[in-house]
């Protein structure tokens, strides 16, 4: 089954609450990453309007990590709790929210915890940081409609931050859910590229689906050669976004035994020479 284009299964919003006519009065559910902004995440526990704050790793094989694991937070759309969660998600890429189709705690908990560890195409299992907007966005973008229906289920409508400050409202899939939640090769590859795609979209002020596979491949190639620091990658951005094939000289630098910073220096000099010419 083909993957539905992004514009057909979602829309861009300026504020998550615009996803629903009663967005300011509805009870919103957030999946929060406390690692991205620990102090702000701890402050959520002191909010008077927080209906529920539950550690999603509790009762799972990852329970030993629950102190730093994702939180499931329920807050009304018109209070300080919502504003705090929204700020965490916007400023620190620290979460996303959803409007569920049910209010049964156990049903929603089972769905969320069912996404934490998924069978992968390598024959093992992969742990997913579902609290990371880059991860959940990559999963929803690359999934077929049946896979997306299986991943979201009773979570209903999801709203995720984007790299450029807006929000993406994901419509519920109307397809019959896949009988098994698992990572295909396509989904596994999309998750491996999730952070690279997010970083490129952020730096280029583009939508996530506007990032080409070629650009992702070139960024991955630089990473594999030892060039991983963001300031170095920014210096080499022309190499990443240029659609022309790399020269053998560039490939020779990347294949060399030098440390990453020396490769950056050599490649930057080549870029400067090309600009001067």
Give the mean model confidence (pLDDT) for residues 154-163. Answer: 97
Residues 82 and 106 in one domain: yes
- The residue out of 198, 220, 255 marking a domain boundary is 198
Q: How many other CB atoms sit within 10 Å of the CB of residue 101?
A: 15
Q: Residue 185: which pLDDT band, with cuts at 50, 70 and 90?
A: very high
* CA distance to 171, 199, 220, 269, 275, per residue, from 193 (Å): 23, 10, 8, 28, 30
- The three-state secondary structure class of 176 is coil
Residues 174 and 240 in one domain: no
pLDDT at 158 over 60: yes
Give the mean model confidence (pLDDT) for residues 36-55. Answer: 94
pLDDT in tens, 96-118: 999 999 999 999 999 999 999 99
pLDDT at 200 over 80: yes
Residues 159 and 266 in one domain: no
Q: 43, 84 in Cβ contact below 8 A? A: yes
pLDDT at 276 over 50: no
Q: Is residue 24 part of a domain?
A: yes
Residues 83 and 182 in one domain: yes
pLDDT at 277 over 50: no
Q: Is residue 170 part of a domain?
A: yes
Q: Is residue 107 part of a domain?
A: yes
Q: Residue 3: which pLDDT band, with cuts at 50, 70 and 90?
A: confident
What is the C-alpha separation between 114 and 47, in angstroms, rounded? 28
The pLDDT value recorded for residue 65 is 96
Q: 163, 178 in Cβ contact below 8 A? A: no
Name residues whose C-beta falls within 8 Å of residue 238's C-beta, 6 or more positions apart in sequence: 271
Name residues whose C-beta falls within 8 Å of residue 84's C-beta, 6 or more positions apart in sequence: 40, 43, 44, 47
The pLDDT value recorded for residue 189 is 97
The pLDDT value recorded for residue 272 is 81
Nearest to 229 by CA among 253, 255, 199, 207: 199
Residues 98 and 191 in one domain: yes
Residues 68 and 98 in one domain: yes
The pLDDT value recorded for residue 275 is 52
- Take residue 88 and report the two structure tokens written for it: 């965490």
The pLDDT value recorded for residue 1 is 64
Residues 175 and 91 in one domain: yes
pLDDT at 170 over 80: yes
pLDDT in tens, 117-148: 999 999 999 999 999 999 999 999 999 999 99
Give the mean model confidence (pLDDT) for residues 222-244. Answer: 95
What is the C-alpha separation between 149 and 46, in angstroms, rounded? 35
- The residue out of 198, 226, 249 marking a domain boundary is 198
Give the mean model confidence (pLDDT) for residues 57-64. Answer: 96
- The residue out of 198, 230, 256 marking a domain boundary is 198
pLDDT at 224 over 70: yes
Long-range own/partner contacts, residues 48-51 (CB < 8 A, 24 or more apart): 49/75, 49/76, 49/79, 49/80, 49/81, 50/74, 50/75, 50/81, 51/27, 51/75, 51/76
Domain count, the chain: 2
Q: Residue 38: which pLDDT band, with cuts at 50, 70 and 90?
A: very high
The pLDDT value recorded for residue 71 is 97
Residues 193 and 237 in one domain: no
Q: Is residue 205 part of a domain?
A: no
**Parent domain of 57:** 6-198
């Amino acid at each position: 089954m083909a993957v539905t284009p992004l514009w057909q299964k979602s829309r861009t919003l300026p504020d998550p609450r615009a996803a629903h006519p009663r967005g300011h009065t509805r009870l919103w559910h957030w999946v929060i990453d406390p690692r991205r902004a620990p102090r702000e995440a701890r402050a959520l526990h002191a909010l008077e309007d927080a209906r529920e704050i539950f550690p999603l790793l509790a009762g799972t094989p990852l329970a030993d990590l629950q102190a730093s694991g994702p939180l499931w937070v329920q807050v009304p759309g018109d209070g300080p709790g919502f504003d705090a969660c929204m700020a965490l998600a916007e400023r620190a890429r620290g979460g996303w929210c959803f409007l569920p189709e049910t209010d049964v705690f156990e049903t929603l908990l089972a769905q969320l915890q069912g996404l934490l560890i998924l069978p992968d195409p390598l024959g093992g299992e992969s742990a997913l940081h579902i609290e990371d907007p880059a991860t959940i966005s990559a999963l929803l973008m690359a999934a077929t409609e049946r896979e997306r229906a299986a991943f979201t289920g009773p979570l209903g409508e999801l709203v995720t931050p984007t790299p450029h400050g807006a929000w993406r409202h994901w419509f519920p899939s109307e397809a019959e859910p896949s009988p098994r939640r698992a990572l295909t090769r396509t989904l596994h590859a999309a998750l491996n590229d999730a952070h690279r795609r997010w970083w490129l979209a952020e730096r280029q002020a583009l939508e996530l689906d506007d990032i080409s596979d070629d650009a992702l491949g070139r960024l991955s190639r630089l990473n594999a050669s030892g060039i991983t620091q963001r300031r170095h990658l920014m210096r080499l951005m022309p190499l990443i976004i240029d659609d022309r094939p790399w020269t053998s000289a560039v490939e020779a630098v990347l294949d060399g035994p030098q440390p990453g910073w020396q490769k950056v220096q050599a490649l930057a000099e080549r870029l400067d020479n090309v600009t001067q010419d």
